[in-house]
Amino acid sequence: MITIAVIGAGAVGSYYGALLARAGHDVRFLLRRDLETVHKDGLRIHSPQGDFHLPTVTAYASPAEIGPVDWVICSLKATALDSARDLIAPCLGPETKVVALMNGYGLERQFAEWFGPERVFGAMAFVCINRGDPGVVHHLDYGRVSIGHVQDDPGKLEKLHALFASSGIDVVSAPNLLYARWEKLGWNIPFNGLSVAAGGLGTATILADPLLRATAERAMREVVAAGNADLAASGSDTRLDIEEIVERLFALTATMGEYRTSMVIDYLSGRELEVEAILREPSHRAAILGVSVPTIDALYALVRAAEFRRRGLITPLTP
């Protein structure tokens, strides 16, 4: 039996962990807020693909209780990256693989430094999902997971692909990890960025406003340009097709309705925003690569200003 630790069981970790558990794998969740409820009532997933309930869920309050496993799936918020090392380490045996199922640029490099590159994978979930009450996840739509290995080892990647596919997860092996990261950022930067910078908007409102929509497209094109420069710098021949990405991601977003990005959910509920992972790191990488990304930079500055206002680090004027 394959053993899996899910570190950071927010909406994404709970959902995919539940799919893996439903498929019969030995999934052990690290929980904090929901631990008691999940011990008592299990995990409930509401989904257009069929609701399901796991009445008995293995969950712990500390990674030491989980112990070494075959796979660690780390789905912490990017803002908790600093704590990831200590949370993951107790779950590592000599052969344990680590999957960063998280938002943002550069995570896997950090993981590779800590744990060795041969065992580190990245995973990007294209999924519309929210947390409900403790122990409840609302899966709204989509669910595809794009995966890559830090060293782009196809043999290693095949194992993760098989694990996800056997659990009914729509999984795609990316041509390479860097490509997959930038493709995901192609959606995250414009829509997470604008949803907060424009004052708390859903995606349908952004698309319906011609100026905001044009701003989203400019940001998306800047992401692709930076991504292609990054791919070139890494020695890869793979490139993102800018027109294909713009057309596909806008068409996809148009089917989402008034979707709340993860960043706007954090913003509205007073939680820390993933500004560094989604905006700062790509902006810095673009600067190092010599790619001009003024729209991304403006979104970065304004999203951070929004967070700083809320935290009282900058003070707005009073009427």
Task: Name the minimum Å distance from CB 284 to its own copies.
Answer: 12
Main-chain dihedrals φ then ψ at residue 269, nearest 5 degrees: -100, 10
Q: Indicate if 156 belongs to the active site.
A: no
122: tokens are 């990245």
Considering beta carbons, is residue 41 or 141 the nearer one to its own copies?
Answer: 141
Q: How far is the CB of 105 from its own copies (least distance, A)?
A: 17
Distance between CA 205 and CA 217 in Å, rounded? Answer: 15
Closer to its own copies by Cβ: residue 112 or 265: 265
Nearer to its own copies, 49 or 292 (CB): 292
Q: List residues binding its own copies (CB under 8 A).
A: 197-202, 205, 208-209, 211-212, 214-215, 218, 222, 258, 260, 264, 268-269, 294-295, 297-302, 304-306, 308-309, 314-319
Minimum CB separation of residue 135 from its own copies in Å reads: 21
Please give the Cα distance from 253 to 191 (Å, whole number): 9
Helix/strand/coil (H/E/C) assignment for every residue in the chain: CCEEEEECCCHHHHHHHHHHHHCCCEEEEECCCCHHHHHHHCEEEECCCCCEEECCCEEECCHHHHCCEEEEEECCCHHHHHHHHHHHHHHEEEEEEEEEECCCCCHHHHHHHHHCHHHEEEEEEEEEEEECCCCEEEEEEEEEEEEEECCCCHHHHHHHHHHHHCCCCCEEECCCHHHHHHHHHHHHHHHHHHHHHCCCCCHHHHHHCHHHHHHHHHHHHHHHHHHHHHHHHCCCCCCCCHHHHHHHHHHHHHCCCCCCCHHHHHHHCCCCCCHHHHHHHHHHHHHHHCCCCHHHHHHHHHHHHHHHHHCCCCCCCCC
Kindly tell me which of 109 and 218 has the beta carbon lying closer to its own copies: 218
Cβ closest to its own copies, residue 53 vs residue 218: 218
Q: Residue 262 Cβ, how far from its own copies at the closest point, in Å?
A: 13
- Minimum CB separation of residue 305 from its own copies in Å reads 4
Q: How far is the CB of 146 from its own copies (least distance, A)?
A: 27
Q: Which is nearer to its own copies, 233 or 268 (CB)?
A: 268
- Who's near 252: CB < 8 A, 6+ residues apart? 187
Q: Which residues does the annotation mark as catalytic?
A: 184
